[in-house]
Amino acid sequence: MIAKNLQDKTTLHNGVKMPWFGIGVFKVEEGPELVHAVKTAIKHGYRSVDTAAIYENEEGVGLGIREGMKEAGISREDLFVTSKVWNADLGYESTITAYETSLNKLGLEYLDLYLIHWPVQGKYKEAWRALETLYKAGRVKAIGVSNFQIHHLKDLMQDAEIKPMVNQVEYHPRLTQKELQSFCQEHGIQLEAWSPLMQGQLLDEQVLKDIANKYDKSTAQVILRWDLQNGVVTIPKSTKEHRIVENATVFDFELTKEEMERINDLNQNYRVGPDPDNFDF
């Protein structure tokens, strides 16, 4: 199913509904700009907000959520909030403590999704056990991972009681990760894209510009539409109101099969972020 509007949701394998589209806040510092961005997104119909402990901005995100809900006249249940446990806190007790810390900073009673941020060898299984505990206790609606490759997922699932519901990875037309997506689909794990616009590096790509011109859209809108038509949950980051609105205006056109293939063909297995098989943090 292709999302028809900004509030459309995919159903995770545990029955929880997650918006196809949300706002990310990576590298947005604490302060008025951050609060305004989250509030603005909610005002314009966004219902999903993605942050992480390492972003050091959960307090501002929480404030933006509270102010945004009040202004939009919506309840907490209308929003889907994600955070992630950082590498330094991977361990059973430390992950549970990290979850409580994130909740306190956000000022929330629960999270909709909690992710292991990176697959640190020898540490993520204990962290996963903690996520399972939080999930079984009803403290979090869904649990998942981020930056996990196929072999990480296989390794995790060997001992896991509960399969991850989401895998959030770097995903854009230069890094299409088709094998990973197929594996996730087979196992009922929803793929989610971070850095969908490749940190702006794709905006002058001619193939995308040609398609954008046809629909009177921006290259960013074409990329985000491609994500959705590929069945990938997407959380572009922006702090500017016009960009927040523009990013979400992707439900009034549809790429053809041929255009989807042309974009797929831009793949070079090229990463702008760290390699999940070779990082040291």
pLDDT value, residue 28: 85
DSSP letter string, 2-51: ---STT-EEEPTTS-EEESB-EE-TTPPSSHHHHHHHHHHHHTT--EEE-
User: Into how many domains does the chain fold?
Assistant: 1
Structure tokens at 167: 């895998």
With a cut of 80, say whether residue 1 has pLDDT above it: no
Report, as an integer, the average pLDDT of 164-175: 98
The answer to whether position 276 is within a domain reads no
Binding residues: 117
Q: Does the pLDDT value for residue 27 go beyond 90?
A: no
Say if 57 falls within a structural domain. yes
264 falls within a domain? no
150 Cβ neighbours under 8 A, 6+ residues apart: 179, 180, 183
What is the torsional sign of CA 28, 29, 35, 36?
negative
The verdict on whether 55 is a catalytic residue reads yes
Residue 32 covered by a domain: yes
Strands 140-146, 111-116: pairing kind: parallel
What mean pLDDT comes out for the span 83-98? Answer: 98
Name the residue range of residue 169's domain. Answer: 9-200+232-237
Q: Could you report the per-residue pLDDT of 91-120, keeping only the tens digit for each?
A: 999 999 999 999 999 999 999 999 999 999
Binding residue positions for substrate: 117
CA distance 239 to 148: 28
> What CATH number is associated with residue 71?
3.20.20.100
Please state, in angstroms and rounded to a whole number, the distance separating the CA atoms of residues 229 and 98: 35
How large a percentage of the chain has pLDDT more than 90? Answer: 96
List pLDDT tens digits, range 212-236: 999 999 999 999 999 999 999 999 9
Is residue 107 in a domain? yes
**Residues 252, 129: Cα–Cα separation, whole Å:** 42
Q: 46, 55, 99, 114: which one is catalytic?
A: 55
Per DSSP, the residues of 62-94 read HHHHHHHHHHHT--GGG-EEEEEE-GGG-SHHH
Mean pLDDT (whole number) for 201-207:
95
Does 2 map to a domain? Answer: no
Cβ count near 1 (within 10 Å): 9
**In a domain? residue 33:** yes
CB contact set of 163 (below 8 Å; sequence gap of 6+)? 13, 157, 187, 188, 189
DSSP state for residue 56 in the 8-state scheme: T
Does 258 map to a domain? Answer: no
Which pLDDT does position 184 carry in this prediction?
98
- 170-184: average pLDDT: 98
